[in-house]
Amino acid sequence: MAPKRKSLKRKLEHDLVALGSDRAKSPQPLQNSPPPSSRDFSAVILSHVDLLNSPSSTYVTDRAALFRSLHALSDLAQNEEMVDDMVKCGVVPAVVKHLEVPIDDDCVCGPYGYEVEKKCAIILGLLANKPEHQHLIVDAGALPYIVDLLKRHKTSSIISPGLVGLLRRLADAITNLAHENTTIKNLVRMEGGIPPLVELLEFNDRNVQKAAAGALRTLAFKNDENKNQIVECKALPTLVLMLRSEDPTVHYEAVGVIGNLVHSSPNIKKEVIQAGALQPVIGLLSSSCLESQREAALLLGQFASTDTDCKVHIAQRGAIQPLVGMLKSSDSQLKEMSAFALGRLAQDSHNQAGIAYHGGIEPLIDLLSSKNAFIQHNAAFALYGLVDNEDIIADVIKAGGFHNLQDGSFKAQPTRECVAKTLTRFEEKIQGQVLKHLSYLMRFAEKGVQRRVALALAHLCPIDDCRTIFIDNNGLELLLELLGSTNLKQTGVASLALHKLATRAISVPLGDVAPSSPTPQEFLGKHCVNNPKLSDVTFLVEGKRFYAHRVCLVKSDIFRAMFDGGYREREAKDIEIPNIKWDVFELMMRYIYTGTADVSLDIAQDLLKAADQYLLEGLKRLCENTISQDITAENVALMYQMSDTFNATSLKHACIMFVLDQFDKLSSKPWYGYLVCSIVPDIRKFFSTLLGKSSSADS
């Protein structure tokens, strides 16, 4: 995580600086004056720059004048709108000049000891807040003098308040100069700036410690050479001690440095743990400082990526409970970091039960609906780990985890891949004791849990166990209750579950669910269709003659009864067929003679009616299959009515599957609720037949 950049910008408290004739005076705000123009400010800035560049501007001549001029410039630099003008007016080289002058003891002991250099450091740090000015300051030669002054506490015989303030401002200046600037980070190291910063971690002033840690934090971010040198300079023991500080601002900077040191550096991570950082970092999870909590959670996630033993140690030392508590925080970054840490911990089998025990399942499931893609991913990864534990799967399903994973809207592709793997892991685990546990819950838990379990098992239950779960153990009725709910959300999830269950159970084409003819069929062939040769019966259809053969027509129970029973058609030579069009009758006869028919959509409905009338089940299924291809959201209700009218089982099943599959399109229709309620009995019959068929087929 990128280091947080300190803000040193403040509102300008005065508008103009009044200049004396001989020296710069302290800045005074103008009252009852019109707003100054940019030209006025530039004139003031140039006046100060001229004073700083004058030959008489030395430590021994008039240090007070220098201080007042630098003080005025530092005030101006706090207004970001003035920064560019200051740079254009040559403030940078003029200020750097006063960092390079050696300081003697007389100056140090005077009333302005180190104050001039401190003001220089403040100005440069403020100007460096704008990235475009960072290299300008470095190119002006500031770094060697900043580093030299950082070492002053070792050579100075007096640690004055001025020196303390200077050291703090120098460290702040390095923080701003090196912020997100790889080149300057390297230059600081090459100029020897890291060792004195590490030494200042032990300085007897908390503000200096914090500033030094802030600089090291910036220098260590995504810079392996700097990381290694910081560790080589023995910074870790002091940083670990700072983690235990009662001052939140101190341990925040310390945990930030350590976090940047261990990022993508496995060896340093091990050294940090060996230095004793683990327990104090866990302690920071309970800090009153929100920033320290975030950094600690992130750091524990990084530690947990090291090895299995480290994951176990983190859990054993009490990290899981506070991390789970953070999942419920109102702070999105804290939720993200805690989910990150728990996700890494959950990949170890020893920790999974602990996360569940401390109540981590439900908040992790809730985070799946977050609008923050990083929170989503970390929560999904944590649940992926938890689902590896068979003792936890039922708890995840009880809390609605399966549904949230299946139906969630996940923004990032890696998250979608993680969720897919988790759903696959669910399916692999639903067997044996896990399935028995879920089956028990579906029968005896409270109603909401029963329904969630039934919904999950519709997607996950092994096909061999579907009849036991959904017919014998009442799972189907739970789903049908949801399907008939007035709550559209419940209806939607039930539709999806039932459609998935049916799809998994159908091992043969849906049209073959209807029983086939019990007796073998023999056919005369297409050359006999409407052929007068050897014809012994003629049908009159729409005034046209159709020549047929009684021996072939007995395949239809209606025709057989017509010729064998006491009907008048028994001896008739010509039989009139009313209410059937010629092309429909001709295609029906072609099916009788050949056992096949090319049923087009434009004739399928009329042919279905004729096939039902003459009890030709095979032809009915051909018609039903053709009609099923034309089911739409607009006509499904009519299609279902047609299937009822003509006892078209395959068409009815196709309508049921369409209704279950197309919830999103159908739910907005005004007749949807009535349709669903009216077909529930047929859905029950459909699944009873289907699951019974799949069960017997598998056995």
* CB burial of residue 573 (10 Å; 0-12, 13-18, 19+): exposed
Pairwise CA distance, residues 290 & 282, whole Å: 14
Which of 201-205, 467-471, 555-559, 614-618 has the lowest average pLDDT? 555-559
Instruction: Tell me what the mean pLDDT of segment 316-323 comes to.
Output: 96
Mean pLDDT of 629-656: 95
SS3 content of the chain, % helix, strand, coil (to 5): 65, 0, 30
**Phi, psi (degrees; rounded to nearest 5) at 574:** -115, 125
| pLDDT greater than 80 at residue 633 | yes
Of 331-335, 370-374, 543-547, 671-675, which gets the smallest average pLDDT? Answer: 543-547
> What's the mean pLDDT in 647-660?
95
Spatial separation of the C-alpha atoms in residues 149 and 99, rounded to whole Å: 8
Give 348 or 10, the one with higher predicted confidence. 348
Q: Is the pLDDT of residue 230 over 50?
A: yes
CA-CA-CA-CA torsion for 219, 184, 225, 282, nearest 10 degrees? 10
pLDDT digit string, tens, across residues 38-92 = 667 889 999 999 999 987 655 545 778 888 999 999 999 999 999 999 999 999 9
Same domain for 77 and 96:
yes
- Confidence band (pLDDT; 50, 70, 90) for 213? very high
Average pLDDT over residues 126-147: 96
Mean pLDDT of 174-189: 97
pLDDT reported for residue 19: 27
CB 219 within 8 A of CB 178: yes
Which positions ≥6 away from 75 have C-beta within 8 Å?
12, 13, 14, 27
Q: For residue 533, what are its two tokens?
A: 């040769």
Distance CA 41, CA 122 (A): 19
| Predicted local confidence at residue 469, as pLDDT | 94
The domain boundary residue, chosen from 282, 306, 330: 306
> Residue 574: its pLDDT value, please?
77
Highest mean pLDDT among 102-111, 335-344, 589-598, 668-677: 335-344
pLDDT of residue 39: 66
How deeply is 581 buried, as exposed, middle or buried, from its count of CB atoms within 10 A (0-12, 13-18, 19+)?
middle
- Prediction pTM value: 0.80
Tell me, what's the pLDDT at 7? 33
The order of strands in the sheet holding 574-576 is: 544-548, 537-541, 574-576
CATH (domain of 257)? 1.25.10.10
Identify the weakest region by mean pLDDT among 56-70, 364-378, 594-608. Answer: 56-70
Give the separation between CA 394 and CA 206, rounded to whole angstroms.
51
Q: What is d(CA 402, CA 380) in angstroms, rounded to the nearest whole number? A: 11
Lowest mean pLDDT among 164-168, 377-381, 456-460, 559-563: 559-563
- Identify the pLDDT of residue 465: 93
Distance CA 418, CA 9 (A): 43
Q: How far apart (Å, rounded) are the C-alpha atoms in residues 324 and 342? A: 8
Q: Is residue 162 in some structural domain?
A: yes
| 275 neighbors 236 (Cβ within 8 angstroms) | yes
Q: What is the DSSP letter of 27?
A: P
Centre a 10 Å sphere on the Cβ of residue 407 and count the other Cβ atoms it contains.
Answer: 12
pLDDT of residue 8: 29
Pairing state between β 537-541 and 574-576 = parallel
Task: Single out the residue of 421, 457, 423 nearest to residue 437, CA to CA.
Answer: 457
Report the alpha-carbon distance of residue 464 to residue 468 in Å, rounded: 8
Q: In the chain, what percentage of residues exceed pLDDT 90?
A: 71
In a domain, 472, yes or no: no
Quote the pLDDT of residue 61: 54
Please compute Rg for the chain using Cα positions.
42
Counting the structural domains of the chain, the total is 3
pLDDT at 680: 95
Q: Do residue 176 and residue 225 come from a single domain?
A: yes
**Same domain for 153 and 229?**
yes
- Are 268 and 187 in a shared domain? no
One domain, residues 142 and 291: no
Residue 149 has pLDDT above 50, yes or no: yes
Average pLDDT of the chain, as a whole number: 87
Res. 202: pLDDT tops 70: yes
Hey, is 456 helix, strand or coil? Answer: helix
pLDDT in tens, 494-541: 999 999 999 998 864 444 444 444 444 545 566 678 778 877 788 888
Range of the domain at 551: 523-620
On whether the CB atoms of residues 380 and 410 are closer than 8 A, the answer is yes
AA identity, residue 230 = I
Share of the chain above pLDDT 70, in %: 85
Say which residue the tokens 């009684």 belong to: 550
* Residue 341 within any structural domain of the chain: no
Size of the chain in residues: 699
- Of 279, 306, 333, which marks where a domain is finished? 306
User: What pLDDT score was predicted for residue 62?
Assistant: 72
**Is the model's pLDDT at 30 over the cut of 70?**
no
Task: Give the model's pLDDT for residue 103.
Answer: 54
Report DSSP state, residue 523.
-
Tokens 């279905």 found at: 608
Q: Which residue has the tokens 């923004």?
A: 411
Beta strands in 375-512, from DSSP E residues, in sequence order:
none
Contact partners, residue 78, CB within 8 Å, separation at least 6: 8, 9, 10, 11, 12, 126
Judge whether residue 101 has pLDDT over 90. Answer: no
pLDDT band at 561 (very low <50, low <70, confident <90, very high): low
Q: In this structure, are 243 and 128 located in the same domain?
A: no
96 and 177 together in one domain: yes
Least confident range from 85-94, 378-387, 553-562: namely: 553-562
Q: Is residue 671 included in any domain, yes or no?
A: no
Place of tokens 């500080």: 245
163 found inside a domain: yes
- Token couple for 121: 């450091």
Residue 180 lies in a domain: yes
- Taking the C-alpha atoms of residue 53 and residue 73, their distance in angstroms, rounded to an integer, is 14
Strand partners, 670: none
Claim to verify: residue 251 and residue 296 sit in the same structural domain: yes
DSSP single-letter state for residue 381: H
Is the torsion defined by CA of 680, 682, 688, 691 positive or negative? negative
Of 336-345, 593-602, 684-693, give the range with the top mean pLDDT: 336-345
β strands within 221-292, DSSP E: none
Q: Which one, of 425, 437, 608, 371, lies nearest residue 511 by Cα?
A: 608
Same domain, 245 and 142: no
Q: What are phi and psi of 547, to 5 degrees?
A: -85, 130
Is residue 304 within 8 A of residue 266, CB to CB? The reply is: no
Summarize the confidence of residues 227-241 as an average pLDDT: 97
Q: Give the per-residue pLDDT at 1.
A: 47
SS3 461: coil
Q: Does the pLDDT at position 542 exceed 60?
A: yes
Beta bridge partners of 539: 546, 575
- Same domain, residue pair 227 and 242: no
Q: Does the residue 633 lie in any domain?
A: no
pLDDT over threshold 80, residue 158: no
Task: Please check the confidence at residue 543 and state whether its pLDDT lies above 80.
Answer: yes
CA angle 420, 421, 423 (to 5 degrees): 65
- Domain holding 579: CATH number? 3.30.710.10
Q: Calculate the CA 556 to chain-centre distance.
A: 62
* Domain shared by 49 and 161, yes or no: yes
The gap from C-alpha 65 to its chain's centroid, in whole angstroms, comes to 59
For residue 370, what pLDDT is reported?
96
Q: Find the mean pLDDT for residues 346-350.
A: 92
- Tens digits of residue pLDDT in 281-313: 999 999 999 999 999 999 999 999 877 889 999
| Residue finishing a domain among 276, 306, 336 | 306
In the prediction, which pLDDT does 5 show? 42
* 157: confidence class by pLDDT, cuts 50, 70, 90: low
**pLDDT for 11:** 25
Query: Are residues 586 and 611 both part of a single domain?
Result: yes
Residue 580 lies in a domain: yes
pLDDT of the residue at 38: 60
Cα–Cα distance list, 589 to 305, 557, 568, 623, 624 (Å): 74, 14, 21, 14, 18
Q: pLDDT value at position 57?
A: 57
Residue 537's pLDDT is: 83
